[in-house]
Amino acid sequence: MTALLYTLGVVIFVVAILLSIGLHELGHMIPAKKFGGKVTQYFIGFGPTVWSKQVGETEYGVKAIPLGGYVKIVGMLPPGADEHAEQVGVDPGGAPVYRVRKSNTGMFTQLVSDARAAEWETISPDDAERLFYKMPSWKKVVVMAGGPTVNLVIAFGIFAAVFASYGNPNDVRTTTTVGAISPCVVPYEESGRVCEEGDDPTPAVTAGLQEGDEIVGFNGTEITDWRELQGLIRANDSGAAEITVVRDGRQQTLTTNTRVEARPSDDPADDPTVTEEVGFLGVTPRSEFVEGGPIYTLRQMGDMTVRTVEAIAQLPVKVYGVARAIVGLEERDPESPMSIVGGGRLAGETAAHEEFPVTEKVVFLLLLIAGFNFFIGMFNFIPLLPLDGGHIAGALYEAVRRGFARLRRRPDPGYVDVARLLPIAYVMGVLMLVMGVVLIVGDLVVPLSPYS
């Protein structure tokens, strides 16, 4: 049964991520086609083709390695200023085939030239007005931002549903409801031991407090916040305590005397090893997850954005830490990044864990899927090729440059040549590949655990 549940968890996670990838690529393809662009391929995965089908001018398919996806939009790279496209033959259907020719040489120049050549080999005269680089800048932004935006929308939908129905496990609120009652007074230095004969009952026991009681008043002061109640108790020393509670929908008043005990300060900034003489009642509050609607979810995602940007900035260092953990030089940081393989393991272990209630398993899987979508969306907005953000940055720069030219009544500077940034794209691609391999190996050798 455990193996079955583990497999089920992995399958659910992998299928959800593949669906997210498919929707991401639709976020690019649909607006590209809507704006008149030509999309020749729509694939989920990389490597050898497992299945494909031609529908109109687009080939839809699945590849063997489910670690991403892509759509092929014709005309992403314009001819360079010192290049030209010339006909070099015809395809089997009789349509002319063009290739970019370039006279310069050099490693980076050749890389750029080869990329342009591959781009133009599939372009026919009928495609002249359907090339991506000829689209208005705002349309380019919409097409390239469509993919990661879909991921963010998926994340928002999942987060909003969980936060509204279950609450946010990362936003815990302490209530004024009694969660637990200490049966006896145990000196602070002996905290954790069970009650022994001769131990005095706590003031909470003497008062007759019960789990589930909602404390609404203390010595005549209305209570709405646990920290407020905690402050009143600590300041009460050994004085009489009149506690107003709501139990089973009815309000009643209980009486007792708090007592002085050596306890640590309730200020998180203070040294927990230093104690002070304060009033003591012997109750622990009940905590609950904060619930919220769409506005609350947007605020939470705003906070996530800040943390994600910080995490992306530290990503190379974090991945290096994972590499050191792989070879046994240090323990793996529980906050380190993980690959889709690690996500699958977490999903499987959570689904198979016998002590997790079903509801918590479902919530964990949903938040895991939402978290991956959020990170994928944010990561793709990085303004560097080959990421979507690199094309967005190029389109925005093109719009600004052309706008300034119009204001200054100068000639149109033309399209921004993103191909010149391909060397950066190749370097980024290699770095992303290396980091991906390190994380996959790390998730196999030193995996993170949902309950470690």
Whole-angstrom Cα distance, residue 280 to residue 262? 9
pLDDT of 238 higher than 80: no
The count of residues in the chain is 452
pLDDT of 157 higher than 80: yes
- The pLDDT assigned to 267 comes to 56
Is the distance from CB of 438 to CB of 338 less than 8 angstroms? Answer: no
- The pLDDT assigned to 42 comes to 93
- The pLDDT assigned to 220 comes to 87
Owner of token pair 């899927």:
369
User: 62 - beta bridge partners?
Assistant: 44, 51
- The pLDDT assigned to 125 comes to 74
Owner of token pair 């050798």:
445
Select the highest-mean-pLDDT range: 106-110, 116-120, 346-350. 346-350
- The pLDDT assigned to 266 comes to 59
pLDDT of 277 higher than 80: no
User: Average pLDDT, stretch 126-142?
Assistant: 88
DSSP string, 427-450: HHHHHHHHHHHHHHHHHHHS---T
pLDDT of 264 higher than 90: no
Is the distance from CB of 73 to CB of 143 less than 8 angstroms? Answer: yes
What confidence tens digit (pLDDT) does each residue in 62-79 have?
A: 998 887 888 999 888 776
pLDDT of 422 higher than 90: no
pLDDT of 105 higher than 50: no
Number of C-beta neighbours around residue 33 at 10 A: 18
Supply 123's token pair. 């372009």
119 vs 143, more confident: 143
With 0.75 as the threshold, say if the pTM is over it.
Answer: yes
User: Average pLDDT, stretch 400-404?
Assistant: 89
pLDDT of 272 higher than 60: no
Map residue 33 onto helix, strand or coil. helix
Phi, psi of 252 (to 5 degrees): -150, 160
Average the pLDDT over each of 101-115, 125-139, 170-184 and give the range with the smallest value.
101-115
Residues 6+ apart with CB under 8 A from 430: none
User: 287 - beta bridge partners?
Assistant: 174
Percent over 90 (pLDDT), the chain: 35
Band of residue 300 on the pLDDT scale cut at 50, 70, 90: very high
- The pLDDT assigned to 108 comes to 54
pLDDT of 103 higher than 50: no
Cβ neighbourhood burial of 235 (10 Å; 0-12, 13-18, 19+) = exposed
Give me the helices (H) in 124-198, please: 137-165
223 vs 160, more confident: 160
pLDDT of 349 higher than 80: yes
DSSP E strand stretches across 249-292: 250-257, 259-264, 275-280, 283-290
Measured CA distances, 364 to 334, 357, 421 (Å)? 16, 11, 40
Q: Domains in the chain, start-ordered, CATH in brackets?
A: 143-167+291-452 (no CATH), 183-290 (2.30.42.10)
Band of residue 149 on the pLDDT scale cut at 50, 70, 90: very high
Cβ neighbourhood burial of 256 (10 Å; 0-12, 13-18, 19+) = buried
Band of residue 16 on the pLDDT scale cut at 50, 70, 90: very high
What's the mean pLDDT when you consider all of the chain? 84
Supply 168's token pair. 């946010």
Average the pLDDT over each of 94-103, 109-118, 243-252 and give the range with the smallest value.
94-103
447 vs 81, more confident: 447
Whole-angstrom Cα distance, residue 240 to residue 235? 12
Band of residue 197 on the pLDDT scale cut at 50, 70, 90: confident
Owner of token pair 């009650």:
195
User: Average pLDDT, stretch 409-415?
Assistant: 85
- The pLDDT assigned to 412 comes to 83
Owner of token pair 């009928």:
126
User: Average pLDDT, stretch 196-210?
Assistant: 85
What confidence tens digit (pLDDT) does each residue in 85-99 have?
A: 555 555 454 544 445
Band of residue 275 on the pLDDT scale cut at 50, 70, 90: low
What confidence tens digit (pLDDT) does each residue in 45-63 have?
A: 888 999 999 998 999 999 9
Select the highest-mean-pLDDT range: 31-40, 186-195, 412-421. 31-40
Give the residue from 375, 343, 330 showing the smallest Cα distance to 152.
375
User: Average pLDDT, stretch 151-174?
Assistant: 94
User: Average pLDDT, stretch 250-263?
Assistant: 81
Catalytic center residues: 25
Measured CA distances, 395 to 139, 158, 221, 271 (Å)? 9, 31, 61, 54
Owner of token pair 């209530």:
175
Whole-angstrom Cα distance, residue 275 to residue 268? 13
262 vs 39, more confident: 39
Whole-angstrom Cα distance, residue 308 to residue 380? 12
- The pLDDT assigned to 80 comes to 59
Number of C-beta neighbours around residue 223 at 10 A: 17
User: Average pLDDT, stretch 186-201?
Assistant: 75
Band of residue 143 on the pLDDT scale cut at 50, 70, 90: very high
